[in-house]
Amino acid sequence: MKYTALVLVLVILVAANACKKTNSTAPVPVPPVVIDTETLQGDAPFKIGAAIDVYRLQIDLMYKNTLLAQQNSITIENAVKWQSVHPSENIFDFSGGDYIADFCKNNNKRLHGHCLIWYQANPDWLNNYNGDSLAWEHLFKTHIQSVVAHYRGKATSWDVVNEAFRDDDGSLRVQDKYPGDNFDDGCIWARHLGSDYIARAFEYAHEADPNALLFYNEYGQEWSDAKTNAIINMVTDFKARGIPISGLGLQMHIDINTSNEGITKAIQKLAATGLQIYISELDISVNPANDQSVSFTTDLQKKQADKYAFIVHQYKALVPSAQQYGITTWNVGDKDSWIRTYIMHKDWPLLFDDNYAKKTCYFSFRDALKN
């Protein structure tokens, strides 16, 4: 008897299911779509960006989705640095930059190019290049103009020259100060082209794309007055000579102990130039000493969140809105940060954690954008 009842139930279930399948007018169930309505780009009065690694963008859907939702400006982290885009004298490789440029075009994001001229990230063929000053000038100009022209109409802006001044006395990087330490902290461009190479870089870039906004980008203005003053002197000189500079990037690779006064002073001084002011590479280290016993405690999370909020508030208060080019963090999630992958520190410097969950500092940052 029990067996017959069971068979009956089964028959009814199968029949009901068959009916469902043949009933073509029945609505197809749609899974609920979760739209993140509270985003950085949605709450910011200026552009919010992230520096992007091509490979991560290609393989990691969480990375891509976070970007799609949260940021409306993208900086190319490495793909158009000299060693990536110009790997040998007669070869340009735009594949990485193009991937990011397409992503920006398809998703309506502003593209910021980084960086045309730097004392670092130069390939060996360039460092070992043999030529007189005319040949060096030709290389310099050809590189700048080829890269800028390639992204004409795609990149809104460029870091034309990156990190040309020294931290301690604000002098121009020229010779390697500590030969033998395996790191050239001087600059091949100043050595081969003389101290006015920065102005010429801006002129060449402007010729290649008159519509692009051209930035000078630098770190450490928040703690080196000498450097900040050198930048301001350069801008004054450029204005007097009609050199086409549009903006100044404050990288802001800082930590939770960076002085608030220093940050305020740097933003104020640079904003007084009247140029576009861009917080261009923000990250806030919580473990600058790389102490292996440190963990990301609630106290560190709070200090970091306060610092992120402070920067946004200062930027909004001290930079007139017409000069607010935006704030960009240097990558997206903690695990993507150069502090982990390049400096190799145990740290949690960005707005999203290793799984792209929003951190305490994300919320303080967004609140500061709103209020």
Phi, psi of 270, rounded to the nearest 5 degrees:
-70, -40
Q: Which is nearest to 332 in space by CA: 308, 309, 349?
A: 349
3-state secondary structure 9-29: HHHHHHHHHHHHHHCCCCCCC
Is 306 exposed, middle or buried, given 0-12, 13-18 or 19+ CB atoms closer than 10 A? middle
Binding of residue 77 to ligand XIL (CB under 6 A): yes
Strand partners, 248: 216, 277
Query: Among the options 163, 207, 218, 222, which is catalytic?
Result: 163
The residue within the footprint of ligand XIL, chosen from 66, 71, 73, 78 (CB under 6 A), is 78
**362 in contact with ligand XIL (CB under 6 A):** no
The amino acid present at 322, given as its one-letter code, is A
CB within 8 A of 107, min separation 6: which ones? 68
Cβ nearer to ligand XIL, comparing 66 with 364: 66
* Backbone Cα Rg of the chain: 25
For residue 114, what is the enclosing H or E element? strand 110-118
Distance of closest approach, residue 13 Cβ to ligand XIL, in angstroms: 58
Residue 156 near residue 112 (C-beta atoms within 8 A): yes
Site residues for ligand XIL, 206-225, by CB under 6 A, read 219
CB of 215 or CB of 356, closer to ligand XIL = 215
203 is catalytic: no
Cβ neighbours, 10 Å, residue 20 = 9
Query: How many angstroms separate the CA atoms of 279 and 49, rounded?
Result: 10
| Nearest CB to ligand XIL, comparing residues 163 and 209 | 163
Phi, psi of 76 (to 5 degrees): -85, 110
Q: State in angstroms the smallest separation of the CB of 333 from ligand XIL.
A: 14
Mask: binding to ligand XIL, 109-148, rule CB under 6 A, as x and -? ----------------------------------------
DSSP 8-state class, residue 172: B
H-helix or E-strand containing 158? strand 157-162
Q: Whose CB is nearest to ligand XIL?
A: 338
Per-residue binding string, ligand XIL, 224-263, x by CB under 6 A, is ---------------------------x------------
Catalytic residue among 77, 218, 222, 281: 281
Residue 184 contacts ligand XIL per CB under 6 A: no
* 137 part of the active site: no
Residue 334 or 364 having the CB closest to ligand XIL: 334
Q: Does 278 bind ligand XIL (CB under 6 A)?
A: no
342 binds ligand XIL (CB under 6 A): yes
> Given the complex with ligand XIL, which of 80 and 368 has the nearer CB atom?
80
Interface ranges with ligand XIL (CB under 6 A): 77-78, 162, 219, 251, 281, 338, 342
Q: Give catalytic residues, as residue numbers.
A: 163, 281
